[in-house]
Amino acid sequence: MDKQLDIRFDRVEKALGTLVDSIAKYNPSTHSAHDFVAADAELGKGLEELQTHQSNYRRLQELRAASASLDAQIKDTLRLLANTRKELVNAPATVFPEGSHYAINYDELLSYARMISPTTIPPVGAINGLPAHGEPQGNLDAGGTETAATTPGGPGAATPVGGGATPNGLQNGATSQPPSQPPADQPGSAPPASQAQHSQQTVASFGTSVTTSTTLPEHLSAHLNPHAQTEFAPWPGEDKVRQGSLAALAFLAERGIDPEGYDPEEEAEQARRRKAEEEEERSRRADEEDRERRIRHEEQLRQRAAAQAAREREAAEEAEAWRRSSVGGAPPSASSPVGGEKRQFQFMGDLDDDDD
């Protein structure tokens, strides 16, 4: 690449020199100008090729670096795979016991199911008053009250909707007869139109009265079934969770205690023993302090008594010595204090001369 560029530079230099010489001789040559333009174009192409060559060379260097890094990564991966294979081959096989290896036994599972049943099944009172989805509803009259649909002589006559009790103790499938209605002349004969209409009105009134009488007020319904308006949730409430085992385990974890093997009764017994030991140690220290205080007090009393006895003895000896000296005219004994003898003051002679 360097040789090609040198050749093109030489061509440009020669063409330029020829053109300059022709211009200097005042005879410009068009052929020299065309040669210079062609040489310059070739030099531009050579520079572009040089740029492409440098880009390709840089790209090759990058690819070589990437290839080297990938080769190193492949070698590391193969080495890791070989080491892992050795570890897997040398790993001992697990031998499972022949007996039961289930971590949870039957009794524990049933106990757990018994404890979680209140949160998986709604209370009985919460679903007793709910009507079925496919249950037919009773007809409503003009006043908004529920009445029974009756048909004279037909099945299901005078039966309140919902399968409730029929008036006057009539069963399903029997034709209701009011108490004041006379029996039919012949069994199976159809009653007259007026009689049938009267029977319909009476049965309708009976059905209305029965439905109205069997409906309890809202406050009485709530008193008899307190769970009627209860909303069921398939999980325990927050207060129950805080009072349960999960909260106790969380409390132990916060205190840094491992729940595995933790016995609350043993911990309480240890706390009681520690408290008893502390009380015993406190009482022992108090007894020792009282005994030391009493000993110090007795020692102070003995020292005071000894000092008082010594003072009394010295006072008695001094009194006895002064008594003996006053009676016998003898000087006081050595035990008497020095300086007890009285001396008379005498004037000197030189003082008299000064007065003269």
pLDDT classification of 338: cutoffs 50, 70, 90 = very low
Reference 179, options 171, 189, 169, 188; nearest CA is 169
Cα–Cα distance for residue pair 281/223, rounded to 1 Å: 60
Radius of gyration, CA atoms only, the chain:
65
**Position of tokens 């106990």?**
111
324 versus 191: which is more confidently predicted?
324
Quote the distance between the C-alpha of residue 332 and its chain's center. 98
Kindly tell me the sign of the dihedral angle through the C-alpha atoms of 333, 339, 345, 348. positive
Kindly give the residue spans of alpha helices, DSSP state H, lying in 173-328: 193-214, 218-224, 238-243, 245-254, 264-328
Q: Is 336 exposed, middle or buried (0-12, 13-18, 19+ CB in 10 A)?
A: middle
- Beta bridge partners, 139, equal 147
Output the CA–CA distances (angstroms, integers) from residue 251 to 16, 227, 239, 243, 246, in the order listed.
96, 34, 15, 11, 9
- Beta bridge partners, 147, equal 139
Identify the weakest region by mean pLDDT among 5-9, 27-31, 172-176, 204-208.
172-176
207 versus 328: which is more confidently predicted?
328
For residue 328, pLDDT over 90 is answered with no
Give pLDDT tens digits for 291-327: 999 999 999 999 999 999 999 999 999 988 888 888 7
Cα–Cα distance for residue pair 46/146, rounded to 1 Å: 107
Give pLDDT tens digits for 46-104: 888 888 988 999 999 999 999 999 999 999 999 999 999 999 999 888 887 777 777 77
- Beta bridge partners, 140, equal 146
Which phi and psi angles does 206 have, rounded to 5°?
-65, -45
DSSP string computed for 266-310: HHHHHHHHHHHHHHHHHHHHHHHHHHHHHHHHHHHHHHHHHHHHH
pLDDT at position 127 is: 57
Spell 139-178 as b/e; 16+ CB within 10 A means b.
Answer: eeeeeebbbbbbebeeeebbbbbeeeebbeebeeeebbbe
Output the CA–CA distances (angstroms, integers) from residue 180 to 73, 198, 199, in the order listed.
107, 11, 10
How many C-beta neighbours within 10 Å does residue 305 have?
10
Q: What's the whole-model pTM score?
A: 0.25
Cα–Cα distance for residue pair 67/192, rounded to 1 Å: 111
In contact, 354 and 339? CB cutoff 8 Å? no
How many C-beta neighbours within 10 Å does residue 195 have?
14
pLDDT classification of 19: cutoffs 50, 70, 90 = confident
Identify the weakest region by mean pLDDT among 55-69, 112-126, 187-201.
187-201
In contact, 148 and 159? CB cutoff 8 Å? yes
**Angular region, 354: left φ>0, alpha ψ -120 to 50, beta rest:** alpha
